[in-house]
Amino acid sequence: MPIRYFDMFAGVGGFRSGLEAVGGFECIGYCEIDPYARKAYEAIYDTGGEEYYGDANKIIPEQLPDFELLCGGFPRQSFSIAGARRGFEDTRGTLFFEVAKIAAVKRPKAIPHKDSAADAPSIFSSDCAKRAQLT
């Protein structure tokens, strides 16, 4: 039985490429707001039968199919120096909470996210860490 995953902020499918190369995984759905990235994703992968979500803010977690992995890489620009470290004051920064909301309802076994370790210093050096504790 394959391990099912939901591909958040899918881009052109970096996570999916890795999982497909390893084998034993099944994508149950994906989320990508950028229309060009979505077109590329759908040209590269067979997405037939998978749920598509354009805007992460509009996902109703209870309506998602069940899965074991919640993969992706939420936009990190708002936590970086290049993004002026606006954190949750930047709407891209609040997408972190969409991942948390889905995880709280779906309870995946793991939540691998792109560049998580690399982002930790930026996220935790701002007031973002304090705000995250409040949720």
Residue 15, domain CATH: 3.40.50.150
Q: Is residue 55 helix, strand or coil?
A: coil
Task: Report how far residue 112's alpha carbon sits from residue 67's, in angstroms, rounded to the nearest whole number.
Answer: 13
Q: Which pLDDT tens digit goes with each residue over 79-120?
A: 566 656 665 665 566 677 888 899 999 999 988 876 544 444
Q: Which pLDDT tens digit goes with each residue over 44-86?
A: 999 999 999 999 999 999 999 999 999 977 666 665 666 566 6
The predicted pLDDT at position 93 comes to: 61
Termini Cα distance of the chain: 35
Domain housing 20: 3-134
Q: Is it the case that residue 121 has pLDDT exceeding 70?
A: no
Q: Is it the case that residue 132 has pLDDT exceeding 90?
A: no
Number of domains in the chain: 1
